Amino acid sequence: MHHVPLSWYLILSAILFALGIAGFIYRKNIITVFMSIELMLNAVNLSFVAFAYQLRQVDGQIYAFFVMVVAAAEAAVGLAIILTVFKNRKTLQIDEIDSMKL
Amino acid sequence: MIGNYVPHGVEYIRILPEILLCIFGILIMVLEAVTAEGQKRMLGVLALVGIVVAFAANLYAYTVPGQAFQNVITIDAFATFFRGLVLVVGLLCVFASLGYLRRQHAESGEYYSLILFSLIGQCILSTANELIMVFIGLEISSIATYVLAGYFRDDRRNNEAALKYFLLGSFATAFLLYGIAWCYGLTGSTNLNEIHRVISDPGLRPPVVLTGIAAALILIGLLFKVSAAPFQIWAPDVYQGAASPVTAFLSAGPKAAAFAVLLRIFMTGFGSFSFRWAPLLWSIALLTMIIGNFAALTQSNVKRLMAYSSIAHAGYILVAITADSQLGIAAVMFYLAAYALMNIGAFVVIGHVAAKNERYVRIEDLAGLAKRQPATAALFALFVFSLIGVPLTGGFFAKFYVFRAALEAHLVWLTVLGLATSAVAAFYYLKIVVAMYMKEPGESMADLAPLSSGTRVAVWAAALGTLILGIFPSVLLPFLSYSASMLGRQ
Amino acid sequence: MPTTYAETYFPLLIQILIALAVAGGMIGASAFVGRKIKDRVKNSPYESGMEPVGNARERYSVKFYLVAMVFILFDIEAIFLYPWAVVYRELRLFGFFEMLLFIALVLCGFFYIWKKGVLDWSTEAHGEREQENKRVA
């Protein structure tokens, strides 16, 4: 029986997480930035599930459920906030939202 | 085996405050949908009742200390203190909001239920003994506060504050969560006692480097939440942009809860690791104090100034954490209590002077407050002196205990540099006092309304608390030392 | 017990083949048996009733977003039912009441959005029009 080794999952998860960080820092569109955060959460989910499989526990899989639910709640709130920002400013470029700089 | 999963009645008593807050929060939310426009104020009163009841439940829960629900939460003196603290913060902020929302004609049930929901999250954080519980508590608290920060949907500053708070907050949460995942993978558990057992057992111990990475990721997430350098960038914009009572809430409640969790994780879970992260914390504490205090010097907007000041205060608290002793933990707890009271008081007065839609938020706008409303000005001066750390105020003893803990841990340089930055801080704080007492009233004073009853309660209660902590610090100290000793022992 | 790679994934291969056969069979049968009409409407791509040609970047009504978000939230709540169902027999009455409580809490949220008018598609538009008229008057 062939297994995909744990390290592959973890490396993939780390790559996804790093991509999320890069997207968060370099992207200018708010929606893309927000999607980068979701990508980071999903990378973590992958780690949880991989670890759960390795440890022969169900816990890690349930944690992934928790993360998904929380991410959905966060997405609802986040998109609502982005919507109000767009309504007031007619832009989604993150560097144009700076009314409070010195 | 099966019986293990069914909790005892006593376990429900231990989370009674959360249950009650949940009931009241949902009740307010449902009533909001069926209440007539003119009667929304009653929902605020209901929120006050809910918080008071939860506070009583918190005390009652302390009569049956212990762990609950497969040890995911712990009720001990430490948890009881922080739960009580965030509830007091919530209470003061709801009082302040009653007047503020009426002035804005924006009273609604959602506002109050969001505060209660956020408090639930902070209570969970205070009691959490398990990393997933930490994550859930943090998110319950954060998601509610993201909405609160942007509560006035048509206000551009509110929008921006909410957006930045949301984006950077969830970014930080992702780090925390990744750290949790690694912790789980390395130790096979997310329970802090279990993690402690595994990493201090030479036979079971996972590679130190990996454990360090996991701990560092968790630390990054929490440092974001307490606005410590170099993760403080969101705080000025968010504190400036959000409505004043919300800012008061944000700067006190979630911060206290995040520090509680930081202490719990790093004292209980990674306790045997402390010597490794001491140098890191040392530099973060110093950097935070320097950035906060020096950036505040150049601010003209009083809310932004207070935001930088609150970053600096996070730095002082980190000094006590760096000390890594029971004295240090007690100092952190005392500091957070004093900080919460004086900071809420200051923000509530700022919100009062700012008038409708927060038009007057520059330092000059405070000019002449002493002539128009001497009592309000005197109270604000008290909060400012407490923030500086003048004797007879809570802020003095807070700083005193923090730096004493640092000295006893032989952190001489950190103490000297910390005290130097807090001398710098006196400059910008005194600008506020000078404006209030020595300048002639301007346009802002013409629009100044009398203090509303809710605001008055909040300000006077905060002032009273600041004075009590400043004159009789011994009312809290024995309990704090006891809590700290219990935390280390687990 | 399956031991080799091929044996382990053999059932999967069969499933894929069956799925292909069913899908291919259906399309093939309808092409073979069905009547063929060729007119303008029939040849245009199916777009769920939307105008198929036009600017793809057109903005949707914000109500779509609201309903979609509410749907996702309630949908994701159901995720907790799966692990609960797995251990339901062991938890017995306790598990039953816990889940009842959970669903009651979700229903509170439902009651809230219902009373707030998120679900009334047309009447809310009507209410908005009324407000507009008032503002004009």
Q: Is the pLDDT of residue C137 over 50?
A: no
Which band of pLDDT confidence, cut at 50, 70 and 90, is reported for residue C4?
A: confident
Share of chain C above pLDDT 90, in %: 24
| Chains in contact with C, counting 3 or more C-beta pairs less than 8 Å apart as contact | A, B
Residue A4 lies in a domain: no
What is the C-alpha separation between B158 and B236, in angstroms, rounded? 13
Q: How far apart are CA B295 and CA C38, in angstroms?
A: 73
pLDDT of C69 reads 87
What is the overall mean pLDDT for chain B?
91
Q: What are phi and psi of B191, to 5 degrees?
A: -80, 135
**Rg of chain A over all Cα atoms, to the nearest angstrom:** 17
Distance CA B175, CA B218 (A): 6
pLDDT, position B41: 86
**Picking from B50-59, B63-72, B327-336, which range would have the lowest pLDDT averaged per residue?**
B63-72
**At a CB cut-off of 8 Å and minimum separation 6, what does C86 contact?**
none
Q: Mutate which of A11, A62, A84 to test chain B, going by most B C-beta atoms within 10 A?
A: A84
CA–CA gap between residue B181 and residue B297 (Å, rounded): 41
Q: How many residues does chain B have?
A: 490
Whether residue B366 contacts residue B353, with contact meaning beta carbons closer than 8 Å, is answered with yes
Nearest to C5 among A2, A69, A72 (CB): A2
Mean pLDDT of B243-267: 94
Task: Give per-residue pLDDT as tens, B427-464.
Answer: 999 999 999 998 888 888 887 888 899 999 999 999 99
Nearest to B2 among C90, C112, C114 (CB): C90
Domain housing A38: 29-92
Q: How far apart are the first and last CA of chain C?
A: 80
* B170: chain A residues, CB-CB within 8 Å: 37, 74, 78
Q: Which of B117, B131, B177, B304 to mutate to test binding with chain A, by most A CBs within 10 Å of its CB? A: B177
Q: Do C108 and B34 touch (CB under 8 A)?
A: no
**Least CA distance to C93: which residue of chain B?**
B6
Residue B237 · residue B164 · CB < 8 Å: yes
B177 to chain A: nearest residue by CA?
A44
B75 bridge partner residues: B66
Could you read off the pLDDT of B81-96 as tens digits, one per residue? Answer: 999 999 999 999 999 9
**Residue whose entry in the numeric block shows the structure tokens 């048996």:** C33
Supply the pLDDT for residue A101: 58
HEC letters along chain A: CCCCCHHHHHHHHHHHHHHHHHHHHHCCEHHHHHHHHHHHHHHHHHHHHHHHHHHCCCHHHHHHHHHHHHHHHHHHHHHHHHHHHHHHHCCCEHHHCCCCCC
Q: Return the partners of chain B (3 or more C-beta pairs < 8 Å).
A: A, C
Residue B156 vs residues A76, B112, B151, B162, B361: alpha-carbon distances, Å: 20, 22, 11, 10, 15
- Residue A23, in any domain of the structure: no
Question: Is it the case that residue B175 has pLDDT exceeding 80?
Answer: yes
CA atoms within 13 A on the CB side of B425: 32
Q: Beta partners for B74? A: B67
Longest CA pairwise span in chain C (Å) = 80
Q: Point out which residues pair with B362 in neighbouring strands.
A: B301
- Mean pLDDT calculated for residue range C37-60: 70
**Which residues of C are less than 8 Å from B43 in CB distance?**
none
Number of domains in chain A: 1
Phi-psi region of C34 (alpha: psi -120 to 50; beta: other; left: phi over 0): beta
A86 inside domain: yes
Q: Which CATH class is domain C5-136?
A: mainly alpha
Q: What is the pLDDT of residue B462?
A: 96
Least confident among B99-103, B291-295, C91-95: C91-95
Integer Cα distance of B258 and B261 in angstroms: 5
Of B167, B181, B237, the CB nearest to A33: B167
pLDDT for the residue B337: 96
Task: Tell me if C112 and B6 make a contact (CB, 8 A cut-off).
Answer: no
Size of interface A-B (CB pairs under 8 A): 106
SS3 C34: coil
pLDDT at B357: 84
pLDDT at residue B2, as a whole number: 45
Q: Does C105 touch chain B (CB under 8 A)?
A: yes
CA proximity to B317, closest of B244, B380, B227:
B227
CB contact under 8 A, B178 and A17: yes
Nearest chain A Cα distance for residue C43, angstroms: 36
Cβ within 8 Å, pair A2-C2: no
Query: C136 pLDDT band (50/70/90 cuts)?
Result: very low
* Integer Cα distance of B344 and B250 in angstroms: 10
Peptide bond into A5 cis (omega under 30): no
Single out the residue of B256, B461, B232 nearest to residue B341, CA to CA. Answer: B461
Q: How far apart are CA B83 and CA B125, in angstroms?
A: 9
Q: How far apart are CA B370 and CA B381, in angstroms?
A: 10
Given a cut of 60, is residue B1 above it in pLDDT? no
The answer to whether A44 contacts B174, with C-beta atoms less than 8 Å apart, is yes
In single-letter form, the type of residue at position B205 comes to: R
Query: How many beta-carbon pairs under 8 angstroms link B with C?
Result: 23
User: B15, B53 in Cβ contact below 8 A?
Assistant: no
Does pLDDT of B284 surpass 50?
yes
Q: Indicate the DSSP class of residue C46.
A: P
Can you give the pLDDT at residue A12? 95
Tell me the pLDDT of chain C averaged across its residues. 80
pTM score, whole prediction: 0.89
Chain A residues at the C interface, defined by Cβ less than 8 Å, are 1-2, 58, 62, 65, 68-69, 72-73, 75-76, 79-80, 83
For residues B230 and B29, give the distance between their C-alpha atoms in angstroms, rounded to a whole number: 38
* Domain ranges within chain C, ordered by starting residue: 5-136
- Render pLDDT for B346-395 as a digit per residue (tens, 0 to 9): 999 999 998 888 888 898 888 888 888 999 999 999 999 999 999 999 99
- Nearest-neighbour CA in chain C from A102: distance (Å): 34
Across residues B232-261, what is the average pLDDT? 94
Chain-centre distance of CA B117, in angstroms? Answer: 15
For chain A, which residues score pLDDT lower than 50?
Answer: 1, 102
> What's A84's domain CATH number?
1.10.287.3510
Two tokens at C112?
């809230």
Name the B residues in 143-202 with CB < 8 Å from any A CB. 143, 146-147, 150, 153-154, 156-157, 159-163, 166-167, 170-171, 174, 177-178, 180-182, 184-185, 188, 190
